[in-house]
Structure 1
């Protein structure tokens, strides 16, 4: 039988579970972590497996049985490979999956899953991320099979075409525009500050309206630079934060940002590589 608990103070999900189930409920911390990893923890009806997911006062946390079809990152189907040769591999990263691990113990991330999927018993595949996507951003993610290839792609990264789809709150006043505000990372808050500052770096974001509803808008976004959280911070500065972006806007079960297209010249073959993948249905549902 499902157990329901109401959140009274904003905190991380794992901290809430430890206090509620371990400290006051007699559960072991190991059991709490296992329940979280096995997709039996729900926040407002949505499965959550991320220990650092933020819950707010009033949220309802349910401890139940695993839903049919619910999967943790490690239980996912094989990653969708969009392109592969001996030097480069591109995947369609699902939302909710880290690009790379945050520490040596983290196994549920795209790099580890892809390496495990493609490695053979006597041949361990080595991979280097050419770039990264935020955990809650889906779409094209590129890896190299050597440091030299990664560096070769990065040398021309400023000429790479990077196109995203974004669902934002409200509707921009103009159907298209450019945001050229510099960005500065606040390492304590792990958040980008927008505007002039001696430590700020240039950042350029172009956007155009694809579809507009009464309260939300679908944008096509191209970035000339690739700063951390660039689109998220720039759109929030414009007054139209990404839907579901807890750090720069309001929390929802899903975030409306998808890396749709990546175009670059292969350093060895000199051929143009076009990688493109549509957003999942859960993304488009955010527009409704």
Structure 2
């Protein structure tokens, strides 16, 4: 992918993958919110990129629009629109775009390739869980393939077929293999960060309608996590 990126005013915690008049595509670090919460409004990708498009001018009418989000502790590819028209198009087509993740999960999976499917619902403390009744939850489908494994962890390539909140984390936790470092759905002592990364995204450009694919590497920490466990 040819980069069209201005280096001035680029915020920390976000590596720019692509930018044009319609979209900004970045690689977000683990620990940075995608958008504001009740507790934090400024240390977010949305706030930082809003300042970026204003180029230091608070009176600028330039702005960005939220298309999707990643969990705070998930790293990887994040797309923002620079016009409302682009946002509406991308959100309308989002379920049709191809999304690939990498994750390190606890344990060794008996099936090295497969599909996890369930209906996800949210409880009063914003924790997601699977339900059997389709009227009480939203369909979530997660495809996976084991890339490498050690005695304690497995590195997975994951295809996100739907985009539900915490979908990957819930599916693997409920199957007895929570994502390493997941403090909500299953914690492993000694893991520094949530081992989940949005690695590849294929979209249709909102203006040109051309297919565009953005990719990033597996975080080095994921490989170290497996390496340490094989010693």
Task: Please list every run of at least 4 consecutive aligned residues from structure 1 whose deviation after the TM superposition is greater than 3 angstroms.
Answer: none
Q: Which residue of 1 aligns with 2:224?
A: 285
CA pair 284-114 structure 1, distance change in 2 beyond 3 A: farther
Mind listing any 5+ residue stretches in structure 2 that lack a counterpart?
1-10
Segments of structure 1 that go 5 or more residues without pairing to the other structure are 1-75
Partner of 1:167: 104
1:116 aligns with 2:55: no
Q: Does 1:135 align with 2:58?
A: no
Q: 1:260 is matched with which residue: 199, 204, 207?
A: 199
Corresponding residue number in structure 2 for 1:189: 125
**Pair 1:259–1:154, CA change in 2 (3 A):** same
- CA–CA separation in structure 1 for the residues paired with 2:140 and 2:37: 25
Structure 2 residue 209 is matched with structure 1 residue 270: yes
d(CA) in 1 for partners of 2:62 and 2:38?
19
Q: TM-score, normalised by structure 2?
A: 0.86
Q: 1:283: how far off?
A: 3.3
Contact 1:243/1:286 (CA < 8 Å) preserved in 2?
Answer: no
Q: TM-score, normalised by structure 1?
A: 0.70
RMSD over aligned Cα atoms: 1.7
Structure-1 residue corresponding to 2:155: 218
Equivalent position SS for 2:46: helix
- Equivalent runs, 1:1-288 vs 2, <5 Å: 77=12, 79-103=14-38, 106-120=41-55, 121=57, 123-186=60-123, 188-197=124-133, 198-250=135-187, 252-287=191-226, 288=228
Task: Measure, in 1, the Cα distance between the counterparts of 2:51 and 2:126.
Answer: 30
Following superposition, the deviation at residue 185 of structure 1 comes to 1.1
Cα deviation for residue 118 of structure 1 reads 3.2
Answer with 1 or 2: which has the greater Rg: 1
User: What SS does the aligned partner of 1:286 have?
Assistant: helix
